[in-house]
Amino acid sequence: MLELYTQLHTQIFDADRIPYAIAAIFLSMVVGMVTGPLAGNANPLLWGVLDGMFGGFGARLDRLHRSKHDLMFRGFLLTAFMIVFCLLMAKICENIVLNYSFRGFTEIFVLSMLITSGSVWFAVLKLYFALEKKEMGKNAYYIVSRSTRVDLNSVDDFGITRTAMRFLARSFDKGLVAPVFWYLIGGLPLVFVYGCVAMLAWRFGKDGFTKGFGEIPLVLERLMGIVPSILAGVLFSFIGYGGAFRRAFDIIKPGKAKGKAPYHQGGLSLTALAWHKSVALGGPVKDISGSTLKNDWIGPEGATAKVDHKILRWAILTNFGAHIVFLAALFCAYLLANNALI
């Protein structure tokens, strides 16, 4: 059975990339916690770079007075151009890695720019202390607002807490599990492609409420992100329920959608956070461009939306625990691939 499993997952991904992925995750954890987010954005560095280069241009193309079909075509052109651009970036990075490996550190460094972890903890912890002291806190609100693209002036302290919790869930899914998943399958080219479509979905998708411009990125991101999203949801459910598989499965199994987060609003990871603590997360917000996003309320029936900021400590620990289990799973997969556990 183990031999069959080894043969199967060897055909799906390259196990030799696992050590690089593990090292990149550790690098992202340590550096992110020490330095904090770059330029106030706790998402993967690639997202910030692409947003700086193309975000303003895309915003000028996303004109609400245009028809939906026109906006979709514009979004398609921008998406196609940026995917080609990212593939060229990946090719350049591959050449650099090949010629200047530095015993594998170059590839680890490149991959670390495509994921996020420690900077998310830094941002949410800073927000927690600002809420605890009831003061603005230097850049505390700004980092979370820019990283989530939510106008925090449009919500109260409870809404700010809900936004931070959603960020913890989504960043683990889109900023860690999914990039690593595609890196293991296709190396730097595929992880660059995923990073591109994930950034576009974040920048223009509006949690699924786009008028058309972000439709193509949302579709592509869902195609590439659905399997990693399930894995991230399983990990969050497992950590939240302390390994109680039956209760965790009740959260992630297909069924009635009521009280569960739609894919583009946080998916299974956010659902696990809300249901474990019996709180209502999500809810309508305004994004930083001024659009109203009528997000669903996520959580069990009767759950309160008055989420105290103290719950952020538990949410950060859940995110951290999911990191540890994910790293352990990668390590075990590497051992199995090399027959070390047989």
Q: What is the pLDDT of residues 63-109, one digit of tens each?
A: 888 899 999 999 999 999 999 999 999 999 999 999 998 988 999 99
Q: What is the DSSP string of 129-168?
A: HHHHHTS-TTTHHHHHHHHHTB-GGGS-HHHHHHHHHHHH
Quickly state the pLDDT bin for 5 (edges 50, 70, 90). Answer: very low
Residue 17 DSSP code: G
Report percent pLDDT > 90 for the chain: 70
- Read off the tokens for 256: 């009635």
- Read off the tokens for 200: 């576009």
pLDDT above 60 (res 169):
yes
pLDDT above 90 (res 247):
no
Q: Is 327 exposed, middle or buried (0-12, 13-18, 19+ CB in 10 A)?
A: middle
Q: pLDDT (tens digit, 9 = 90+) per residue, 130-165?
A: 998 877 656 789 999 999 999 999 899 999 999 999
SS3 81: helix
Strand ranges (DSSP E) for 30-143? Answer: none
Mean pLDDT within 284-294:
92
Write down the pLDDT at residue 244: 42
Q: Which helix (H) or strand (E) holds 92?
A: helix 68-99
User: From the CB of residue 325, how many other CB atoms can be counted at a distance below 10 Å?
Assistant: 15
Write down the pLDDT at residue 139: 77
Nearest of 339, 341, 342 to residue 10 by alpha carbon = 339
pLDDT above 90 (res 38):
no
Q: What is the pTM of this model?
A: 0.92
Give the span between the Cα atoms of 325 and 239, in whole angstroms.
Answer: 8
Write down the pLDDT at residue 10: 52
Give the span between the Cα atoms of 310 and 37, in whole angstroms.
Answer: 22
Q: 231-235 contacts: CB < 8 A, separation 24 or more? A: 231/177, 231/181, 232/169, 232/172, 232/173, 232/176, 232/177, 232/178, 232/267, 232/268, 232/269, 232/322, 233/173, 233/267, 233/268, 233/269, 233/271, 233/272, 234/268, 235/172, 235/177, 235/322, 235/325, 235/326
Nearest of 33, 66, 28, 60 to residue 44 by alpha carbon = 28
